[in-house]
Amino acid sequence: MTTLITVIAFVLLLTVLIIIHELGHFVLAKLFKVEVEEFGFGLPPRAVSLFRAGGTVFSLNWVPFGGFVRLKGDNEVVLEKRFEKGSFAGAGSFARICILCGGVVMNFLLAFALFTAGFSVGRWVPYHYTNLQLEEAIARGELAVDKGVFVQSLIKGGPADTAGAPTGSAILSVDGTAVTSPEDVIRLQEGKTSVRYVFRIAAGKTVEMDITLADGKAGIALADSSIRSNTRPVLRSVVVAWNEMMFMTVQTVKGIFNLFHSLLTRFNIPEGITGIVGIYGLTSSAVQEGFMTYLQLVALLSLSLAILNVLPLPALDGGRLLFVLAEIVIRRPLNQRFELLTNMIGFFLLIALIVIITFNDVIQLF
């Protein structure tokens, strides 16, 4: 049952992020009277046409990552056809900029709405708080400290990580004996090859898990306290959500830079970068920890998708935006063959990057 719920949650997560993003392009294209020829789920080649509505073909494509809207004139090389009435190129610079930014804005707004809700009623603890800010938040009553034994983090590839132990949860007992400190856990594991943990992953919700030990260790970094959040006023949550998103934006950009730097200099994927397989694993952990943790993952991925798409790379929204800005500067249309070739190369490089990251995810499983 847990596996089925995880699969449904994973498919729903990807579907929501794709639909929200492409809906931004779609709505703004319609607003500026640009014809949308195709609304695609996944990337080409096309697998099947689902239905047609308002002159738009809604399709399902073979590459199960991302999505797209194909606007009139997108792939036209002949100048006259490219600038026909209702085409993207004929819509004007401002309209094209708005249409290209539509998906990014929608993902950003989704993330902002979820972060605001999470920090007001969801009781999320901000990642961007420094130690001083944590102390100040505790003093204000925004945050509270619980004592006990908590899973602070898991050693990657360790027994607990392999078993899928829930991070951030409380350890209530080891082999049926209640524990109140990390020392209790260490003592109860001495000389054993496996133990049964009881984790509290949410209020009134526990999970039992048998974990095989390696030299008496489960590969869990234990903590004797955990910080939880109380509800915040909405206006305060808006400020916290904005600061959290700015912090996450900086971290995401750094991560993307490290990815390309590592690929070009060391030919490997840096730790912390994950693809579709890794996202499935994160979804599985989030489902185990509860609905609000799942929503937090949706918010983080929506923000990441917005940041990734706005980068000035071919085949992404940011790359296409760069072409529009170049047209404004030189005051004439760019060579369409050059633009199509650049975006095609960028598309295949993007697919290659997805394959490399996915392969790395699979390797990490073993």
Query: What average pLDDT does range 50-74 have in this prediction?
Result: 86
Cβ atoms of residues 253 and 309 within 8 Å = no
In CATH, what class is 143-229? mainly beta
**Boundaries of every domain in the chain:** 143-229
Model confidence pLDDT, tens digit, residues 30-43: 999 999 999 998 87
The pLDDT of residue 35 is 93
Model confidence pLDDT, tens digit, residues 177-211: 999 889 999 899 888 888 899 998 877 788 898 98
The pLDDT of residue 215 is 82
18 has a pLDDT exceeding 80: yes
User: How many Cβ atoms from other residues are within 10 Å of residue 4's Cβ?
Assistant: 8
The pLDDT of residue 216 is 81
Residue 74 pLDDT level (bands cut at 50, 70, 90): confident
Residue 261 pLDDT level (bands cut at 50, 70, 90): confident
Query: What average pLDDT does range 132-157 have in this prediction?
Result: 84
Lowest mean pLDDT among 37-51, 156-170, 237-251, 331-345: 331-345
Residue 111 pLDDT level (bands cut at 50, 70, 90): very high
For the chain, what percent of residues have pLDDT higher than 90?
Answer: 26
In this structure, which long-range contacts are made by residues 229-236, counting pairs with CB atoms below 8 Å and at least 24 apart in sequence? 229/119, 229/123, 229/124, 229/125, 229/142, 229/143, 229/144, 230/123, 230/141, 230/142, 230/143, 230/144, 231/120, 231/121, 231/123, 232/119, 232/120, 232/142, 233/120, 234/116, 234/120, 236/119, 236/120, 236/142
Is residue 304 classed as helix, strand or coil in its secondary structure?
helix
The pLDDT of residue 366 is 63
pTM of the shown model: 0.80
Q: Distance between CA atoms of 259 and 269, rounded to whole angstroms?
A: 6
Query: What average pLDDT does range 146-175 have in this prediction?
Result: 86
Q: For residue 231, which phi and psi values (nearest 5 degrees)? A: -70, 150
Query: What average pLDDT does range 245-258 have in this prediction?
Result: 90
The pLDDT of residue 244 is 93
Query: What average pLDDT does range 97-121 have in this prediction?
Result: 94
What is the secondary structure of 159-189 as a DSSP string? HHHHHTPPTT-EEEEETTEE-SSHHHHHHHH
Task: Report the chain's C-alpha Rg in angstroms.
Answer: 24
329 has a pLDDT exceeding 80: yes
The pLDDT of residue 65 is 66
225 has a pLDDT exceeding 90: no
The pLDDT of residue 100 is 93
Q: Distance between CA atoms of 278 and 170, rounded to whole angstroms?
A: 24
Model confidence pLDDT, tens digit, residues 57-67: 999 988 776 77
Query: What average pLDDT does range 302-325 have in this prediction?
Result: 88
The pLDDT of residue 365 is 66
Is residue 236 classed as helix, strand or coil in its secondary structure?
helix
Q: Distance between CA atoms of 330 and 19, rounded to whole angstroms?
A: 34
The pLDDT of residue 246 is 95
